[in-house]
Amino acid sequence: MTAAFPAVLPTYNRTPLRFERGEGSWLWATDGTRYLDLTSGIAVNALGHAHPDLVATLTAQAQALWHVSNLYEIPAQEKLAQALVDATFADTVFFTNSGTESAELAIKMVRKYWHEAGTPRETILSFEGAFHGRSTGAIAAAGSEKMTKGFGPLMPGFKSLPWGDHDALRAAMDDTVAAVMIEPIQGEGGIRPLPDACLKGLRDLCDQSGALLVLDEVQCGMGRTGRLFAHEWAGISPDVMMVAKGIGGGFPLGAVLATAKAAAGMGAGTHGSTYGGNPLACAVGAKVMEIITAEGFLDQVRRKSSALRQSLEGLVAAHPAVFAEVRGMGLLLGLKCRVPNTDMVKAAQAAQLLTVPAADNVIRLLPPLTITEDEITQAVTRLDKAAATLS
Ligand SMILES: *Cc1c(COP(=O)(O)O)cnc(C)c1O
């Protein structure tokens, strides 16, 4: 024991705030202060804190059965997989515990697909500003200096392209490209949406070359954009998709969705997870899925998104020295700042509003998908108040 070294590995620059209770869009700190939460645990608490149906499902499942090995059939896992297959392009699903693990399987699946094809291809194209997780594979995929420095040698097989550069992409799409891995909306990268036309063009390029299209919907999926998955807006579908964050509503759960063709090489023994898809996680995931896909749920996300977006446009106009623009879709919104984004996060916090910084000097607004119209009004009032302290 070295006294000076913190008991918690200090990889996070933490805000000195401790929460002890959450309900809906609100968090209570230990000093009793109530915060309006536009972080949702970074797009995780999609249904807010302590959603009564999730609490009931978790509690009932906890009393029945927490965990059994994937050596056995798991009905809750089958139920959630079927719900995802019924609602998406996918034929099959593997459950993980995080977005990073989903990225790892997506990479393995791509490699195995080309191995089985008998014409191995090794390069996965990715994009500057991307975030796919913190494993050795995922940091190599994202390729940024910030995440990879000191962690070499990096896993080979990735090539990072500039974001939004069609010519660079077209030039890179040769017959060594195994797959293209991309977030339809970059989250950590600063809420940077890929225009629908680009996603369509990317699908076409993949079809022409045979490369697989791997979408990372860990942050933008599960209803966050007002459709179940963000790529639905472009009318295309991927071959492989990574999901996590919102899918468990706060319970650690992730998934890889794939077509039968992309997944054909992944037979018994090719991949596994001790916890992935256990009864507790899948019971909660199935309830989240049921609520998000219920009639009218995504309509209300889209309605609230328009209301929030419109108010944010007004806020940008009212504080031109603080904000540059509104970005994003649905309830995955960003405000590009003219002041340092971390100053804005602090000012918002002083107004009892929680937001998340992102790259490109953006603050992210990721309310629970269940936020009420009144809470949206309160959020905008608090942002306005916070901005006024900075201009
Ligand atoms: C958060 C995130 C990940 C990593 O997920 P973890 O659950 O933290 O491992 C991967 N991709 C995207 C787009 C993310 O936002």
Structural domain total, the chain: 2
Task: State whether 113 and 188 are in the same domain.
Answer: yes
Q: Report residue 283 CA to chain centroid gap.
A: 20
* Res 188: pLDDT: 97
Task: State whether 375 and 320 are in the same domain.
Answer: yes
Beta-carbon contacts of 41 under 8 Å, excluding residues fewer than 6 positions away, are: 250
Q: What is the pLDDT of residues 360-385, one digit of tens each?
A: 999 999 999 999 999 999 999 999 99
Q: Is the CB of 217 under 6 A from ligand 1?
A: no
Q: Is the CB of 244 under 6 A from ligand 1?
A: yes
Atom 15 (ligand 1): residue with closest C-alpha?
219
Q: Round to whole Å and give the CA distance between 286 and 84.
A: 9
Q: Which two tokens stand for residue 349?
A: 């916090």
Strands (E), the chain: 19-23, 26-29, 34-37, 92-96, 123-127, 158-161, 177-182, 185-186, 192-193, 212-216, 240-243, 254-258, 323-329, 332-337, 353-354, 356-358, 362-365
CATH of the domain at 122: 3.40.640.10
Nearest Cα residue to 213 out of 126, 137, 86: 126
Q: Is the CB of 285 under 6 A from ligand 1?
A: no
In Å, what is the CA distance from 57 to each residue of 8, 87, 157? 31, 21, 42
Instruction: Residue 144: give the domain boundaries.
Output: 65-292
38 pLDDT more than 90? yes
Across residues 103-111, what is the average pLDDT? Answer: 98
Across residues 306-320, what is the average pLDDT? Answer: 98
Query: Angle 105-109-112 (CA atoms, 0-180°, nearest 5)?
Result: 135
Across residues 340-350, what is the average pLDDT? Answer: 98
- pLDDT tier at 28, thresholds 50, 70, 90: very high
Q: Is the CB of 132 under 6 A from ligand 1?
A: yes
Q: What is the residue whose two structure tokens read 């991307």?
A: 130
Task: State whether 267 and 323 are in the same domain.
Answer: no
* Res 20: pLDDT: 98
Query: Angle 206-147-356 (CA atoms, 0-180°, nearest 5)?
Result: 90
Q: Considering the domain boundaries, does residue 253 fall inside one?
A: yes
Q: Report residue 141 CA to chain centroid gap.
A: 16
Q: What is the pLDDT of residues 185-239, one digit of tens each?
A: 999 999 999 999 999 999 999 999 999 999 999 999 999 999 999 999 999 999 9
Task: State whether 327 and 355 are in the same domain.
Answer: yes
Q: Let me know: does 202 contact 170? Beta carbons within 8 Å.
A: no
Q: Round to whole Å and give the CA distance between 204 and 368.
A: 34
pTM above 0.75, yes or no: yes
- pLDDT tier at 391, thresholds 50, 70, 90: confident
* Res 2: pLDDT: 73
Q: Considering the domain boundaries, does residue 11 fall inside one?
A: no
